[in-house]
Amino acid sequence: MLVSGLIVGGMGASYMSTTSPSKGQHPIVDKYSRLAERYDAKWPFYVEATTRETLARLSVRPADRVLDVGCGTGALLCQFARAYPQAYLVGVDPVPEMLAVARRRLPPAVELRVGWAERLPFDDESFDVVVSCNMFHYIRQPVAALREMGRVLRACGQLVITDWCDDYFLCRICDWYLRLFSPAHVKVYSERQCLRLIEGAGHPQASIERYRISWLWGLMTARVTKHAA
């Protein structure tokens, strides 16, 4: 799921609430079920920049099967649908309300499912490309999620993950802030920490690029090619 907030002032209204989630409701579902309808309009620069930078770091063939893990309102899938109209596109997200927004904006052929990164509802080796954009800092079991993404990826397929980077000062401040005020938030990783997690999930050949999308804000994109058994 694409996450909210580019600058502290812009994200304060959504993250300041300390109200407990509904009984039995996961904090992510509680938070983004309420934000879904206004998510894209609230942070348009952030959504556009992160999807653009992620797409620029992917290589997709016309008939590839592509899975977007944490697809949210479908912003990245929309870009895929325009750039690769023959590709088979699938999105998975734990928040039905976010998927409802995605359904309205995406072509009918795009498949959307409710699910979690740690328990992907797909068979082994189902996809040529697995991508995740700005949701990794919400994952409570990152190694399990990375193994699941690798499980559903075909041999020689690409795994591409974009997220905030703790090596940038503002990302570090936001991480500290969100740990205090947002039950949905887990952790923002540094480039080195992210690489260790990916290697620990069985992908020793990962590469990571970090870069700025504004003078305040920085991202990193990790790329892995799954080797044939």
pLDDT digits (tens, 9 = 90+) for 82-133: 999 999 999 999 999 999 999 999 999 999 999 999 999 999 999 999 999 9
As given in the structure block, the two tokens for residue 20 are 């407990």
* Residue 5 confidence (pLDDT): 26
- Is 1 a domain residue? no
SS3 162: strand
- How far is residue 152's CA from residue 122's CA, in Å, rounded to a whole number? 7
Angle subtended at Cα 96 by Cα 91 and Cα 99, rounded to the nearest 5 degrees: 40
Q: What is the CATH number of the domain that holds 208?
A: 3.40.50.150
Residue whose token pair is 């992907």: 120
Amino acid identity of 44?
P
- Which of the 8 DSSP states describes residue 70? T
Residue 189 inside a domain? The answer is yes
Is 31 domain-assigned?
Answer: yes
Residue 41 inside a domain? The answer is yes
Question: Is the per-residue pLDDT at 13 higher than 50?
Answer: no
CB 68 within 8 A of CB 77: yes
For residues 59 and 43, what is the distance between their CA atoms, to the nearest angstrom? 27
Residue 128 pairs with which residues in a beta bridge? Answer: none
pLDDT of residue 216: 79
- Residue 2 lies inside a defined structural domain of this protein: no
What pLDDT score was predicted for residue 215? 80
In a domain? residue 99? yes
Whole-angstrom CA distances from 172 to 6, 53, 111, 175 are: 13, 21, 35, 5
For residue 11 the two structure tokens come to 């994200």
Is residue 188 included in any domain, yes or no?
Answer: yes
Going by pLDDT thresholds of 50, 70 and 90, the confidence category of residue 25 is confident
**CA angle, corner 68, sides to 229 and 102, nearest 5?**
160
Q: For 130-189, write each residue's pLDDT tens digit.
A: 999 999 999 999 999 999 999 999 999 999 999 999 989 888 899 888 888 999 989 999
194-208 pLDDT tens trace: 999 999 999 988 999
Q: Give the pLDDT of residue 24.
A: 57
Beta bridge partners of 89: 66
Using 50, 70 and 90 to split pLDDT, how confident is the model at 227? confident
Q: Which domain holds residue 214?
A: 8-225
Beta bridge partners of 219: 164, 211
Number of domains comprising the chain? 1
Domain-located, residue 116? yes
Tokens standing for residue 65? 């099967």
> By three-state DSSP, how is residue 69 classified?
strand
Cα 178 to Cα 134: distance, rounded to the nearest angstrom: 15
